[in-house]
Amino acid sequence: MVKINGEELNIAGKTVAEYLATTNYDPKRIAVERNGDIVPKAQYSETVLKDGDSLEIVSFAGGG
Amino acid sequence: MNNDKLIIGGHEFNSRFILGSGKYSMKLIEAAVKDAGAEIITLAVRRANTKEQESILDFIPEGITLLPNTSGARNAEEAVRIARLARELGCGNFVKIEIMRDSKYLLPDNQETVKATDILANEGFVVMPYMYPDLNVARDLVNAGAASVMPLASPIGSNKGLATKEFIQILIDEIDLPIIVDAGIGRPSQACEAMEMGAAAIMANTALATAGDLPMMAAAFKNAIEAGRKAYLAGLGRVLTRGASASDPLTGFLRD
């Protein structure tokens, strides 16, 4: 299982790019962190998700 | 006044009003930026929502500098992570460090803020730390590579004004970086007063978000900040400790 923004998903084996393609995220408007390290956009298609990985996918929101 | 620039980390700004974008409709951002005359707007970084198609970035006019904050961070490590993610979002290298350990008073953790400032300044960020106004900490922030220092006026979102006035004045007098008063400024008159004291800029969010007419309040703040800046540059008139001083001639009275 891979944890994405706190939710466990059965997507081990997929790349970050393959996972993102199944979602509504706009790749230009997000940043991805895997196990505490940034995944640069250029590496989305070569970063394979492993069992136990934890991903944070973030974007900007209103704030002070 | 045309040459009176606000310089943060080598970047020049004409406006001294930093606008928040929280707690109001994204549709009001454009009018708020315009009426505030703002050139910098703050943003938060949050888990992306798969359902929402709209991005706040689509509502921010071109040419505005984005200042992501690290809100939600409880320590330096979390603030550093959020700052790196913000930079990865591809909108520049400014960051407002905001580290809080409690959710009741939302007071900044000065020690962790110094640590995060040190790490992020070394990574090339333009670091603008939000802090509790303490001269020793402000000096540590300068040494850590901060580009400005952002002391709070009163608790975040309280609109209570310059509760820490004396201590902000000390920072203005002693710290050789822009002192940007952040948090708690509720009224244009309070923003004006901070600018008269020599603050370099004002950051406001809740004062606008909770106002009756947000863009109109943005314009009121703009005028107040400009008035306070001019008064500071002009040099305020002196205050008598006692007695009075006539403004009229003391001769030529219509009497013998």
| Runs of H (alpha helix) within B37-164 | 76-88, 110-122, 135-144
Residue B204 in any domain: the answer is yes
Please indicate whether, in this complex, the C-beta atoms of A59 and B24 are within 8 angstroms of each other: no
pLDDT band at B217 (very low <50, low <70, confident <90, very high): very high
Q: What is the pLDDT of residues B7-49, one digit of tens each?
A: 999 999 999 999 999 999 999 999 999 999 999 999 999 999 8
Please indicate whether, in this complex, the C-beta atoms of B21 and A63 are within 8 angstroms of each other: yes
Mean pLDDT, to the nearest integer, of B135-146?
98
Query: Nearest CA to CA, how far is B208 from chain A (Å)?
Result: 11
Residue B56 in any domain: the answer is yes
Residue B256 in any domain: the answer is no
CATH code: domain A2-58 is: 3.10.20.30
Domain ranges of chain A: 2-58
Residue B15 in any domain: the answer is yes
Helix (H) or strand (E) holding B215: helix B214-234
Residue B159 burial by Cβ neighbours in a 10 Å radius (0-12, 13-18, 19+): middle
Residues of B in contact with A58 (CB under 8 A): 45-48, 85, 89
Q: What is the pLDDT of residues B187-199, one digit of tens each?
A: 999 999 999 999 9
CATH code of the domain containing B160: 3.20.20.70
- Is residue B215 pLDDT above 90, yes or no? yes
Mean pLDDT, to the nearest integer, of B141-169?
98
- Is residue B2 pLDDT above 90, yes or no? no
Prediction ipTM score: 0.95
pLDDT band at B1 (very low <50, low <70, confident <90, very high): low
Residue B122 in any domain: the answer is yes
Domain that holds residue B181: 6-234
Query: Nearest CA to CA, how far is B90 from chain A (Å)?
Result: 8
Residue B125 in any domain: the answer is yes
Residue B109 has, within 13 A of its CA and on its CB side, a CA count of: 20
Please indicate whether, in this complex, the C-beta atoms of B46 and A61 are within 8 angstroms of each other: yes
**B173 to B150, B197, B254: CA distances (angstroms):** 14, 9, 48
Give dist(CA B5, CA A15) in Å, integer.
47
Residue B246 in any domain: the answer is no
Please indicate whether, in this complex, the C-beta atoms of A62 and B55 are within 8 angstroms of each other: no
Q: What is the pLDDT of residues B55-95, one digit of tens each?
A: 999 999 999 999 999 999 999 999 999 999 999 999 899 99
pLDDT band at A22 (very low <50, low <70, confident <90, very high): very high
Chain A contact residues (CB < 8 Å to B): 5-6, 23-26, 28-33, 36, 38, 40, 56-64
pLDDT band at A4 (very low <50, low <70, confident <90, very high): very high
Q: What's the number of domains chain B is made of?
A: 1
Chain B contact residues (CB < 8 Å to A): 20-24, 26, 42-51, 53, 55-57, 66, 68-69, 71, 81, 84-86, 88-91, 156-157, 183, 203, 205-206
Q: Provide the angle, in degrees to the nearest 10, between the axes of the packed helices B188-197 and B214-234.
A: 20
Q: What's the confidence (pLDDT) of residue B64?
A: 97
Residues of B in contact with A34 (CB under 8 A): none
Helix (H) or strand (E) holding B128: strand B126-131
Please indicate whether, in this complex, the C-beta atoms of A60 and B56 are within 8 angstroms of each other: yes
Residues of A in contact with B55 (CB under 8 A): 26, 29, 59-60
Using CB atoms, which residue from A36, A40, A60 is nearest to B57? A60
Active site residue B96: yes
**B89 to A20, B17, B234, B244: CA distances (angstroms):** 16, 24, 42, 60
